[in-house]
């Protein structure tokens, strides 16, 4: 199956061919991929490699946007979001310039590369900047659809690609009820690539499982309508608690308990595989189940 | 000073700038920066930039990106002198209801291209602007970025200087206002930092308007141009 990154290349290459507003800004990462796709040769003025200069990558994207182009900037998540964070805050946010930022690497896809190539804090950081659509696709089809939609818009968006994901795609930019529990049942919201692990973790539990690949704007109204009882859990593939405030705010009129799972703020100092990191952070099916059992007190077993 | 003593925008000259600046005087803390840039802004708006209040949104206009947003009083005074701002707006400088803050916000002032204040942001954006003009086939407008010699310490500038030079962004003009404020100085000179990356360079005393104009009009095809404008500290 095509990876999210391959889908990104295909969708962006198509957009460069079809829409003269689209411009791609790279900082060496991804340059070969787009050359192979032929778009660098076809659109040398709109496929811009700034070299290993990430502050400049964002500044250039802002300048392109101010002149009416639709910039896409792409790199590994830490180099796209964390290194040039003030450029994102000011050159995009404060200047009110639009851009589509597309990252790879996610929280621990690059487990063998070490902490330098991992950005579990990316979504939490970007959530501090007004107007960012934050997308965490869980399937290449979702990634493709989200990218296509955002390329046609003019605002600020972040699309967080990952090599983790789910077997099947779901509709984007809406809350999907994956499994409906009985009245008053606990509610588990899976974000992006965590869904298949959440479904496996809750197979024999009487819980409602919902899914979203967009975390900003936060689907507050849909969530209020979908939460059956008082016990609510969210499983995010990035920094634990990132969306806890938005979730608590969505449910502020209702008594509820909240469990927020995600990547903890620790220095793991391990290499290995993403799967190993997922297990170490308690985000595989077994770990999610352990946390849910502790949270629910073992009272959620299906009859 | 009442603004009624200041002539209408169309008639204002360099000699009216002190009266306009006086309207902004509550900003005493920033005055040295303001004084250091007033000649540069005046010569740019009076002699170089092809932009006026009525063409502030024209795609063919020249773009002035003030990166050195610290101490914008001289910038505001020149904008008022040239009719981009009503002189009355200057008196509210820094107030809650004023569009004019101690660092400019482009969203609040027509004719201002970028917000600035944090240093080292203007030149990278200017490079993006120049690349956009190239991509859209606009070969006439200039993108002018005004920065400071102290600000030049921010590494983001050097990312931009390198790329602009290698890509030969000939519509890009960087104006470095040099008031000798860089903490560790620039051994070998500021111009050399640009020249080694392929820019053409020129230097002038900002007080000498003819010399500054000559420097600003320099450059050669296929290369970005940098001007070091020396001012009193």
Do B159 and B211 touch, CB atoms closer than 8 A? no
- Please indicate whether, in this complex, the C-beta atoms of A90 and B136 are within 8 angstroms of each other: no
Residue of A2, A13, A4, A7 whose CA lies nearest to A36: A13
Contacts of B13 (CB under 8 A, 6+ apart): B81
Chain A residues whose CB is inside 8 A of the B159 CB are 50, 53, 55-56
CA dist B200 and B165 (Å) reads 9
> What's the length of chain B?
233
CA dist B97 and B80 (Å) reads 18
- Please indicate whether, in this complex, the C-beta atoms of A67 and B132 are within 8 angstroms of each other: yes
CA dist A114 and A105 (Å) reads 11
Low-confidence ranges of chain B (pLDDT < 50): 1-2, 28-30
Helix (H) or strand (E) holding B114: none
- Please indicate whether, in this complex, the C-beta atoms of B131 and A64 are within 8 angstroms of each other: yes
Chain A closest-CA separation from residue B124 CA (Å): 5
Q: Which of A48, A59, A86 sits opposite B125 (nearest CB)?
A: A59
Q: Which residues of B74-106 are buried (b: 16+ CB within 10 A; e: fewer)?
A: bbbbbbbbbbbbebebbbebeeeeebbbebbbb
Q: Which two tokens stand for residue B155?
A: 């590494």
- State residue A1's pLDDT score: 87
Chain B residues whose CB is inside 8 A of the A50 CB are 159, 163
Q: Which two tokens stand for residue B178?
A: 């040099």
Tell me if chain A has a CB within 8 Å of the CB of B61.
no
CA dist B209 and B204 (Å) reads 9
Q: Give the phi and the psi of residue A214 in degrees, each rounded to 5.
A: -125, 125
Pairs of CB atoms within 8 A across A/B: 94
The alpha-carbon radius of gyration of chain A (Å, integer) is 19
Give B129-170 as a DSSP string.
Answer: HHHHHHHTT--S--EEEEEETTGGGSHHHHHHHHHHHHHT-T
- Please indicate whether, in this complex, the C-beta atoms of A63 and B159 are within 8 angstroms of each other: no
- Which chain A residue's Cα is nearest to B154? A55
Q: Which of B115, B134, B159 sits opposite A95 (nearest CB)?
A: B115
CA dist A195 and A66 (Å) reads 38
Residue B117 region, left (φ>0) first, then alpha (ψ -120 to 50), else beta? left
In the block, tokens 């927020």 appear at A260
C-alpha torsion angle, residues A209, A210, A213, A217 (rounded to 10): -140
In the block, tokens 């946007």 appear at A65
- Please indicate whether, in this complex, the C-beta atoms of B125 and A86 are within 8 angstroms of each other: no
Q: Provide the pairing of β-strand A132-135 with A156-160.
A: parallel
- Cα A57 to the center of its chain, rounded Å: 21
Chain A closest-CA separation from residue B119 CA (Å): 11
- Please indicate whether, in this complex, the C-beta atoms of A55 and B132 are within 8 angstroms of each other: no
The CB-side HSE value for B192 (13 A sphere, CA atoms) comes to 5
Tell me if chain A has a CB within 8 Å of the CB of B103.
no
- Please indicate whether, in this complex, the C-beta atoms of A45 and B124 are within 8 angstroms of each other: no
Q: Which of residues 135 through 194 in chain B touch A, CB cutoff 8 A?
A: 135-136, 155-156, 159-160, 162-163
Q: Which of A51, A60, A69 sits opposite B124 (nearest CB)?
A: A60
Predicted complex ipTM: 0.96
- Please indicate whether, in this complex, the C-beta atoms of A86 and B118 are within 8 angstroms of each other: yes
Residue of B155, B226, B148 whose CA lies nearest to B191: B226
Tell me if chain A has a CB within 8 Å of the CB of B89.
no
Low-confidence ranges of chain A (pLDDT < 50): none
Alpha helices in chain A (DSSP H): 4-18, 31-36, 39-42, 54-66, 77, 85-87, 122-126, 140-151, 195-201, 220-226, 244-250, 274-280, 285-296
Q: Which two tokens stand for residue A259?
A: 């469990």
- State residue B28's pLDDT score: 47
CA dist B179 and B76 (Å) reads 20
Residue A177, beta-bridge partner list: A210
CA dist A99 and A285 (Å) reads 35
Q: Provide the pairing of β-strand A132-135 with A214-216.
A: antiparallel
- Please indicate whether, in this complex, the C-beta atoms of A69 and B136 are within 8 angstroms of each other: yes
Contacts of A215 (CB under 8 A, 6+ apart): A123, A127, A134, A135, A136, A191, A236, A242, A243, A246
Chain A closest-CA separation from residue B144 CA (Å): 13
- Please indicate whether, in this complex, the C-beta atoms of B132 and A64 are within 8 angstroms of each other: yes
Tell me if chain A has a CB within 8 Å of the CB of B3.
no
- State residue B36's pLDDT score: 66
- Cα A32 to the center of its chain, rounded Å: 24
CA dist A116 and A197 (Å) reads 26
Do B186 and B218 touch, CB atoms closer than 8 A? no
- State residue B1's pLDDT score: 44
Chain B residues whose CB is inside 8 A of the A69 CB are 132, 135-136
Tell me if chain B has a CB within 8 Å of the CB of A68.
yes
- Please indicate whether, in this complex, the C-beta atoms of A63 and B127 are within 8 angstroms of each other: yes
Tell me if chain A has a CB within 8 Å of the CB of B113.
yes
- Which chain A residue's Cα is nearest to B164? A50
- Please indicate whether, in this complex, the C-beta atoms of B115 and A94 are within 8 angstroms of each other: yes
**DSSP reduced 3-state for A275:** helix
Tell me if chain A has a CB within 8 Å of the CB of B114.
yes
- Please indicate whether, in this complex, the C-beta atoms of A55 and B114 are within 8 angstroms of each other: no
């Amino acid at each position: 199956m095509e990876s999210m990154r391959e889908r990104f290349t295909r969708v962006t290459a198509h957009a460069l061919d079809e829409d003269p507003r689209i411009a791609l800004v790279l900082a060496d990462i991804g340059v070969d991929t787009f050359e192979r796709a032929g778009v660098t040769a076809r659109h040398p003025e709109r496929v811009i490699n700034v070299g290993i200069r990430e502050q400049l990558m964002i500044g250039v994207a802002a300048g392109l946007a101010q002149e009416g182009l639709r910039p896409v900037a792409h790199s590994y998540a830490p180099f796209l979001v964390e290194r040039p964070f003030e450029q994102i805050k000011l050159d995009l946010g404060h200047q009110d310039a639009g851009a589509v930022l597309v990252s790879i690497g996610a929280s621990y896809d690059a487990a063998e590369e070490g902490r330098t190539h991992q950005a579990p804090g990316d979504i939490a950081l970007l959530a501090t900047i007004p107007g960012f659509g934050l997308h965490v696709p869980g399937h290449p089809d979702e990634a493709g659809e989200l990218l296509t939609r955002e390329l046609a818009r003019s605002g600020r968006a972040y699309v967080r690609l990952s090599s983790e994901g789910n077997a099947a795609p779901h509709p984007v930019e809406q809350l999907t009820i994956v499994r409906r529990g009985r009245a008053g049942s606990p509610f588990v919201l899976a974000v992006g690539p965590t869904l298949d692990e959440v479904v496996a973790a809750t197979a024999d539990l009487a819980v409602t499982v919902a899914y979203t690949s967009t975390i900003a704007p936060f689907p507050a109204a849909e969530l209020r309508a979908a939460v059956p009882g008082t016990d609510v859990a969210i499983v995010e593939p990035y920094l634990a608690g990132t969306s806890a405030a938005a979730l608590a705010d969505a449910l502020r009129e209702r008594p509820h308990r909240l469990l927020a799972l995600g990547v903890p703020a620790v220095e793991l100092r391990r290499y290995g595989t993403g799967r190993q990191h997922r297990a170490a952070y308690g985000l595989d099916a077994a770990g999610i189940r352990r946390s849910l059992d502790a949270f629910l007190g073992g009272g959620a077993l299906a009859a | 000073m009442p603004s009624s003593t200041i002539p209408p925008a169309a008639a204002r000259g360099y000699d009216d700038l002190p009266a306009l600046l006086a309207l902004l005087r509550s900003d005493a803390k920033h005055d040295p920066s303001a004084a250091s840039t007033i000649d540069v802004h005046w010569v740019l708006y009076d002699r170089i930039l092809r932009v006026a209040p009525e063409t502030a949104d024209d795609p063919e206009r020249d773009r002035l990106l003030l990166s050195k947003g610290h101490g914008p009083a001289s910038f505001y005074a020149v904008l008022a002198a040239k009719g981009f701002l009503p002189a009355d707006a200057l008196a509210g400088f820094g107030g809650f209801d004023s569009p004019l803050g101690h660092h400019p916000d482009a969203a609040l002032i027509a004719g201002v291209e970028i917000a600035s204040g944090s240093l080292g942001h203007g030149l990278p954006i200017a490079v993006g602007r120049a690349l956009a003009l190239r991509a859209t086939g606009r070969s006439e407008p200039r993108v002018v970025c005004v920065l400071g010699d102290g600000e030049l310490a921010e590494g983001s500038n050097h990312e931009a200087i390198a790329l602009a030079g290698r890509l030969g962004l000939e519509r890009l003009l960087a104006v470095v206002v040099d008031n000798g404020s860089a903490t560790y100085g620039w051994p070998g000179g500021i111009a050399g930092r640009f020249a080694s990356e392929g820019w053409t360079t020129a230097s002038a005393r900002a007080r000498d308007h003819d010399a500054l104009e000559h420097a600003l009009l320099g450059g050669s095809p296929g290369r970005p141009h940098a001007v070091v404008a020396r001012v009193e500290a």
